[in-house]
Amino acid sequence: MSTDAIVLLKNDHQEIRKVFKDFEDAGENAHKTKGKLVDRMIELLTVHTYIENEIMYPRVRDLLPDLEDDVLESYEEHHVADVLVVELAAMEPEHERFTAKTTVLIENVTHHMDEEEQDWFPKVREGLGRTTLQEIGAEMIESKKTAPRRPSQPSALKKTVDAIVK
């Protein structure tokens, strides 16, 4: 298993995209299936945004100050996703806006992942190099073990509150 931070994040993206596709393919009245898929999305996104916000973004910001604007934009994109995740976590799959809200989440997160993969990751790889990316990746692997899985968990709660009040 690679410890390269970018490889790890791309693997997360691939897993997230699969759940998004399963949701989109579930069918209009597949409330139970959609509810389970959204629960999985919430877990994957909560862990993923946590390790990016707590490890990847601060390290890149420190080591590559020229990418600060990109990092700040990513924080804001996470903010939008955090708000939607909190709202979805409190909704029943049968709610009339559940699918619409999930679709907005999928569109926003897909845009964010595409931007990272096509624009940001190449800049980070060039600026940091293999050794630093492996160090950051090893830190991310460790952090994933204790990362929050739901927006209501204490370590995610601060991020969630920040998303709503900032």
| Residues 37-64: tens digit of each pLDDT | 999 999 999 999 999 999 999 999 999 9
- Give pLDDT tens digits for 107-127: 999 999 999 999 999 999 999
- 151 band by pLDDT with thresholds 50, 70 and 90: confident
For the chain, percent of residues with pLDDT exceeding 90: 81
- Check if the beta carbon of residue 91 is closer than 8 Å to that of residue 97: yes
* pLDDT confidence of residue 116: 96
CA distance 139 to 8: 11
Its pTM stands at 0.90
Give the residue-averaged pLDDT of 96-108. Answer: 96
* pLDDT confidence of residue 150: 81
Give the residue-averaged pLDDT of 128-135. Answer: 95
CA-closest candidate to residue 55, choices 124, 109, 115, 150: 124
